Structure formats: C-alpha cells, structure tokens
A and B are shown apart, each in its own frame.
Chain A
Amino acid sequence: MSNMQEIDLARCTLREANSQLQGEDATGAWVIRNPQGRHALAVGLNAPIDVMIDGQAGYYAGGMNKHANITIEGNAGPGVAENMMSGSTRVRGNASMAAGATGHGGLLVIDGDAGARCGISMKGIEIVVRGSVGHMSAFMAQSGTLVVCGDAGEALGDSLYEAKIFVRGEVRSLGADCEEKDMTADDLACLQSLLDRAGVTEYPADSFRLYGSARRLYHFHVDNAAAY
C-alpha cells in the first residue's frame, strides 16, 4: 500500500480533503486518516480512484459518487453512498439509516447490518447487506436490487415500484403492495452475480427469497384506499 496518497483530517480541512479527491482527473489510490466520524467524506467523487476511509464515517459518506471505489473501514452514518451513480462503496462495519438512499447505480456492500430505510427510493443501485436491515427498507424503491443476507425489519418494500429485494432470513412484515415472487432462473443468476461481486460466498443463491411489487397501487383507485 506504499503508493497510497494520504490525506490526514487531523491536519487538513474537509474541504481540502474532498477537493483533492473530486477532480475528474484524480487518479490512483487514496487513504483518509483520522476521519473521526466527519460528515460528507469523499462526496461527489468523479473519477475511477480507490479511496479508503480509515475509521468511522459520519453522514453521507461517499454521497453522489461516480466511478470511485470507496471503502469505509469502520461504521458509516446515515445516508452512506446516497444517490450513488456508479462505482462502489463498501462498509466494513455497520451502516446507519437510509444507506444507499436514492442511488442510481453502482454497488453498495455493507458487511455488517444496516439501519432503517436501507435502499429507500433507490433508482438502480445494487445493495448487498451481509447482515440485517431495519424497518421500511426499500421504501418506494423504484429500480435496482437489494440483497439482505440476514433479516429484514417491518414494512419491507413499502410502496415499491420495480426494484427487486432478495432476503435470506426472516422478514418481519411486508409493506403495502410488496409481495413474495417466484424466483426465476434469471433472478437466481442475477442474485448469484451480485453475491459474487460483493464477495459473499457463504450463502447459496437458492437460500434467498424474492420480493417485488404487486403493482396494485400503480393507479389511484378507491378500492385500494386502505392499502396506503
């Protein structure tokens, strides 16, 4: 790791740190030392660089990432990898609420657990959580895939659009308009590929169940009023 370029937040400001990483011409591998839970770390990155956050990250770490591969060695606060467009983010520890919120693309891997609203309003991002996710995960999820190797909290996939949710453990309850679906060969292949990319080898794809939208709430109708 000797060619890693180092940014030490004990010695520079957040602005100085982010501005070094944000250019379209940024290259190479970077490590951010002493993050100490700072918010908005490594946000708005725009080049295929590797960034390691050597500790705990606060809110919105890796927000709006394009192209970069970000690894958070510790835990991440709310909204990690929010609105990610492409690239990848890995959280070695746990992630707080709204992990991967509104993400349009890229891969978010959380090695620990994720809090409430994981994948809320997701728009194409792929999220793999090795542990469990909290309540209202994939709320209003539009597209993309959420994989949960552990359990899911209450109201999973509430008001879901076209995103797919794979859960291996127990689902506390399903949200409005979310239902279990039959897993096709394509679904299995998609899941297996995601698990491979996330480096999750311990769980076979056929040990998961698939959830998606029942599409009953796609048009306002009086007979569905109680479902909202």
Chain B
Amino acid sequence: MTDNTKKIPRTKPRFSATFDPFTISEIQRAAATGIYDIRGAGTKRKLPHFDDLLFLGASISRYPLEGYRERCDTDVVLGTRFAKKPIHLKTPVTIAGMSFGALSAQAKEALGRGASAVGTSTTTGDGGMTPEERGHSSTLVYQYLPSRYGMNPDDLRRADAIEVVVGQGAKPGGGGMLLGQKISSRVARMRDLPEGIDQRSACRHPDWTGPDDLEIKIEELREITAWEKPIYIKVGASRPYYDVSLAVKAGADVVVLDGMQGGTAATQEVFIEHVGLPILSAIRPAVQALQDLGMHRKVQLIVSGGIRSGADMAKALALGADAVAIGTAALIALGDQSPELAEEYARLGTVPGAYDDWQDGRDPAGITTQDPELAARLDPIMGGRRIANYLSVMTMEAQAIARACGKSHLHNLEPEDLVALTMEAAAMTRIPLAGTEWYPGKQGF
C-alpha cells in the first residue's frame, strides 16, 4: 500500500558502468563525425603497473649500503654484442624516440640538452634527424622506421646507435600518423610529403618482412656503418618472449620493449586502449627469452611505457632490464600538463593532467606543435635544465632504493628484492605475493 501522505522519494540518476559518461560522449562524437577519435599519449585505463610491486629493503638478513657515503653505481653499456663502439651511459634512463614533427624543434633540442647534461641518450623519431638534435645530443640514437622519412646514410653514420623500429607500445602493429596541422613546410620537406596533408605511414618495413630478412637488413646497416654502431630493435609489447627471441636471432645488440602505456603523437583511441600489453607483464617473458638463449646482459634490454620515477626504473631493472626509456614523463618535465596553462587548456576543452590532443598541433606548452608562436614558448635551455633535473632525481631515487637493498650498482637489483601487492602483478612478474612465497603459476601454495 502506498503512503500518499508523504512525497515519494525519487531514486538518484544512476550512471551505467557499461555506458559511462566517457563512453556515451565517444558514441555521440563518432555519430557526429563519422571518424574514429585520434589522440596522443598512451593508454589511460588502469592497469597492473610498477605500483603493484614493492621493494623489501635490507634488515638483519640483508646488509644495506650507507645512503650518502657508499657508492651505488648507475652506468650502463649498451651494444656490447657486435658493435665496435658501444654506448656508455652514466644513468640507465634514456629518452625514447619522438619525432621532430610530433614535437617542436625547441622540444627536441631541450631533450637533447637535458639528456646530454646527465650523460644519457636521446632518440630521433619518424621524421629524420634534425641538425639541432644532433648538435645538442651527445649520444643520439637514430630510428630506422617503416616510413624511412628523411633516412639517409650520412645521418646513419652521424648517429651513435641505430634503432630498427618494428613497433611501439601505444600501437603494436600500427603505422605512423601525423595530421595536417603539424605537416609544416619544414616537416613536409624532411619527409618528402605535400605540406598540410594527413600523413599515413606504413606499419611494415618496405624491404623486409620476417626475422630472416631482418637479419640481412641488420647486416646491411652494419656494413654501411662499418660495424661500429650498436643496433637496437624496438618492439611494442605483444608477444615479448617470441619477439625478443627473434630480435636476438636477427642480430640485435639491444632490444627495446615498449608497453602500452607508452605514448604516441597521434593514434586511434581504440588502438591505444585495446592493443598491446602493459609493460609490467612483458618484462619477465622478455628477460626469460634472453636467459633461455644465454644472452641476458649480453643483449641489453631497455624497457619503456609508463616509467615515471626512480622507483619504476629500479623495479624494471630488478626484473631484469638493463635500462629504461621515458617519453611522456619527459614531456611533462618540459611543461606538458602544467597547471599554469589551465585557462588555455580550458579553451581547448580540457584540463591540466588530461590534455592529450598532441595530434592537434595547438599545444599551449609549445611541445607537441609546429606552430612557430606556440613553439617559441618553450625555452630549450630552461627545458633542458628541467629534463636534466628530472633525470637526476630519477637516478637518485633509484640509487636510494638500491642502497636500501644493499646494492652497489643499480644492475645488482634482482627479482628477489621485490614482492607483489596483487595477484595480477604476481602472476605477470613471477614475483611472490607479499607475505607469501607463491605466485600464480608456481606449484604448491
């Protein structure tokens, strides 16, 4: 029986977990435009990540190192397998490949200045090498991509290492994309494209297909550069055990493994969010492949995709990587997502922390743009200083953790130093769940 004497309580409007507000807005956008959403950055979904691991630190059974007195070395040598001139870095955190085109010339210069100041490397991108970045990067890795935009033997010989890009974490299996707003006359000239077009670039290399061809391609690159340069192979994390095995078989000096948190200049949202593996799940299979081939520490492993701090770096190294690379974090260090830009972000329909229209060329921070006025906002010297600061902090953080674990070199960190906080992380990394000696897949509980 209904009580008519009182007002009937109404249930509150309830949002669907399936058709949440973002999903609804995306359906509405798709219906209005008829084209998929293209954006920058990496996946935004919540994933098992390095936060799901903890270091144990030393106590009675382990002996820590004195924080400010005892050495904890950080250097790494990349390319010791075949290259006559391996790369020596002072810290195992590098700047990942990002193109001039995707980024402004000022941003590329700042990355070079910052990396050089702390003794690490930067990387070109899908668009060739600019004199500015070569000039300001003491160690520069030259990417060899399917598009081969701007590829030439002089830059190949000018590079300190060559990175054959098979894929990237944001879009394993996908090709490059740069929208017309960013194809300025200089970018168009470097890529030999008509100005202002929406650039499509291939997802497969034009002159090799499988691992046997890749082996011959690498022989050619080595012959052109007199076997001096380390040759990296970069893969997006999808089948890391097999991809790393095949990269080693094809003759790589270094394997770069990029998880789905890794950023992109411009890719379909559906691709970024639904293809690839979180980096946490990819490291152990990659390391396993190297160990099974007897090549762990002989072929170096660089991992990237969502590396944010010295803790993330230390965890990646403890899982068996030799170095890490950062991209998105470096852009944030340069000024991307700055709260000072809140008003300008608002005019672009977004807020600091959520800006991802890197494809659009209207970046108020002057980083992901080719607009001369916007790009001029970024002072490459100040930007370089910020990058150097950030890289130094990452290194010191990793050292603090390593010393606490009793390690005199970051590379002495090992899986035994870690525990997992979640079943997922334990299963993905084969690190025991905290308080147990067990991880899913291990016999006996």
- On whether the beta carbons of A218 and B197 are closer than 8 Å, the reply is yes
| A106 sits at the interface (CB 8 A) | no
Q: Which residue of B lies closest to A60 (CB)?
A: B220
* Set B152, B219, B227: member contacting A85, Cβ < 8 A: B152
- On whether the beta carbons of B216 and A60 are closer than 8 Å, the reply is yes
- On whether the beta carbons of B200 and A159 are closer than 8 Å, the reply is yes
Q: Which of B199-253 contact A (CB under 8 A)?
A: 200-202, 206-208, 213, 216-217, 219-220, 223-227
- On whether the beta carbons of B202 and A121 are closer than 8 Å, the reply is yes
What mask results when residues 46 to 58 of chain A are scored 1 for a CB within 8 Å of chain B, else 0? 1000000000001
With A and B bound together, what is the CA distance between A222 and B198 in angstroms? 13
With A and B bound together, what is the CA distance between A121 and B225 in angstroms? 23
| B180 sits at the interface (CB 8 A) | yes
Query: Which residues of chain B are within 8 angstroms of A222 by Cβ–Cβ distance?
Result: 33-35
| B194 sits at the interface (CB 8 A) | yes
Identify the interface centre among B154, B191, B198, B206: most chain A CB within 10 Å of its CB. Answer: B206
Q: Which residue of A lies closest to B197 (CB)?
A: A218
B201 CB → nearest A CB, Å: 8
Q: Is the interface of B mostly helix, strand, loop or mixed?
A: loop
| A154 sits at the interface (CB 8 A) | no
- On whether the beta carbons of B225 and A60 are closer than 8 Å, the reply is no
With A and B bound together, what is the CA distance between A161 and B200 in angstroms? 10
Q: Which residue of A lies closest to B225 (CB)?
A: A44
| B58 sits at the interface (CB 8 A) | no
With A and B bound together, what is the CA distance between A139 and B217 in angstroms? 20
- On whether the beta carbons of B207 and A101 are closer than 8 Å, the reply is yes
Query: Which residues of chain B are within 8 angstroms of A40 by Cβ–Cβ distance?
Result: 216, 219-220, 223
- On whether the beta carbons of A63 and B193 are closer than 8 Å, the reply is no
Q: A121-B148, A218-B197 are in contact. Are A39 and B206 (CB under 8 A)?
A: no
Q: Which residue of B lies closest to A104 (CB)?
A: B152
Residues of B within 8 A of A (CB-CB), count: 36
| A34 sits at the interface (CB 8 A) | no
With A and B bound together, what is the CA distance between A120 and B217 in angstroms? 16
- On whether the beta carbons of A64 and B213 are closer than 8 Å, the reply is no
What mask results when residues 105 to 126 of chain A are scored 1 for a CB within 8 Å of chain B, else 0? 0000000000001001101100
| A209 sits at the interface (CB 8 A) | no
| B147 sits at the interface (CB 8 A) | yes
Query: Which residues of chain A are within 8 angstroms of B220 by Cβ–Cβ distance?
Result: 39-40, 43, 59-60, 63
With A and B bound together, what is the CA distance between A124 and B190 in angstroms? 12
Q: Which of B122-174 contact A (CB under 8 A)?
A: 147-148, 151-154, 156-157
Q: Which of B1-59 contact A (CB under 8 A)?
A: 33-35, 38
Q: A15-B223, A219-B197, A220-B198 are in contact. Are A60 and B35 (CB under 8 A)?
A: no
With A and B bound together, what is the CA distance between A78 and B223 in angstroms? 17
- On whether the beta carbons of A102 and B148 are closer than 8 Å, the reply is yes
| B70 sits at the interface (CB 8 A) | no
| A22 sits at the interface (CB 8 A) | yes
Query: Which residues of chain A are within 8 angstroms of B153 by Cβ–Cβ distance?
Result: 44, 46, 64, 66, 83, 85
Q: Which of A1-45 contact B (CB under 8 A)?
A: 14-15, 18-19, 22, 39-40, 43-44
| A162 sits at the interface (CB 8 A) | yes
| B66 sits at the interface (CB 8 A) | no
B312 CB → nearest A CB, Å: 35
- On whether the beta carbons of A14 and B151 are closer than 8 Å, the reply is no
Query: Which residues of chain A are within 8 angstroms of B192 by Cβ–Cβ distance?
Result: 104, 123-124, 142-143
Query: Which residues of chain B are within 8 angstroms of A98 by Cβ–Cβ distance?
Result: 206-207
Query: Which residues of chain B are within 8 angstroms of A117 by Cβ–Cβ distance?
Result: 206
With A and B bound together, what is the CA distance between A43 and B220 in angstroms? 7
A35 CB → nearest B CB, Å: 14
Query: Which residues of chain B are within 8 angstroms of A79 by Cβ–Cβ distance?
Result: 207-208
Q: What are 29 of the A-B contact pairs (CB < 8 Å)?
A: A14-B223, A19-B226, A39-B220, A40-B220, A40-B223, A43-B220, A59-B216, A59-B217, A60-B216, A63-B224, A78-B208, A79-B207, A82-B206, A82-B207, A97-B207, A98-B207, A104-B152, A120-B206, A121-B147, A121-B148, A124-B192, A142-B192, A142-B193, A161-B197, A217-B200, A219-B198, A220-B179, A222-B33, A223-B34
Which 7 pairs show the lowest CB-CB distances between chains A and B? Answer: A222-B34, A44-B224, A79-B207, A98-B207, A102-B148, A40-B220, A64-B153
Seen from chain B, the residues whose Cβ lies within 8 Å of a Cβ on chain A are: 33-35, 38, 147-148, 151-154, 156-157, 179-180, 191-194, 197-198, 200-202, 206-208, 213, 216-217, 219-220, 223-227
Given contacts A64-B156, A79-B207, A121-B147, 13 further A-B contacts (CB under 8 A): A60-B216, A60-B220, A64-B152, A64-B153, A78-B207, A82-B206, A83-B148, A102-B206, A140-B201, A143-B192, A161-B193, A221-B35, A222-B35
